[in-house]
């Protein structure tokens, strides 16, 4: 049982790595994650701010991974164009957009005042 649990983590990491290698948007999110983490360290975020940033980052990554899974499944079951397949892919992409905008708002609320204070 322990081996199966360990293997399932391996498969999950393999899935993240596979998506990271092939999905341009996920690569963008990875770069943004590095920048945000570096900026957070530089600005000395408080614990609650780190919590908000971590949740936002995790939510965007999760949405992007689910979007990738939806697109992959839709492409498998509907290799030819079908309006419902297109709709499923558009809605999944929309979920990523909504979460990315929410994460941007979190970032502006947390980093905005700190960056503004440095510039002023």
Taken in order of first residue, the domains within the chain and their CATH numbers are 1-119 (1.10.287.3610)
Q: What is each CA distance from 5 to 1, 2, 10, 13, 114, in whole angstroms?
A: 6, 5, 9, 13, 42
**Rounded Cα–Cα distance for residues 79 and 75 (Å):** 5
Query: 89 a known binding residue?
Result: yes
3 annotated as ligand-binding: no
Q: What percent of the chain has pLDDT over 70?
A: 100
Q: Flag whether pLDDT at 61 surpasses 90.
A: yes
If pLDDT is split at 50, 70 and 90, which confidence band does 3 have?
A: confident
pLDDT surpasses 80 at 58: yes
The pTM is what? 0.90
- Residue of 53, 56, 60, 64 with catalytic role: 64
Q: Predicted confidence band at 1 (pLDDT cuts at 50, 70, 90)?
A: confident
């Amino acid at each position: 049982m322990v081996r199966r649990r360990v293997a399932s983590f391996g498969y999950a990491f393999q899935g993240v790595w596979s998506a990271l290698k092939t999905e341009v948007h996920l690569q963008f999110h990875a770069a943004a994650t590095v920048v945000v983490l570096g900026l957070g360290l530089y600005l000395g975020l408080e614990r609650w701010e780190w919590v908000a940033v971590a949740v936002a980052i995790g939510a965007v990554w999760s949405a992007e991974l689910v979007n990738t899974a939806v697109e992959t499944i839709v492409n498998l079951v509907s290799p030819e164009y079908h309006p419902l397949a297109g709709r499923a892919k558009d809605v999944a992409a929309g979920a990523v957009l909504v979460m990315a905008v929410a994460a941007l708002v979190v970032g502006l609320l947390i980093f905005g005042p700190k960056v503004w204070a440095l510039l002023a």
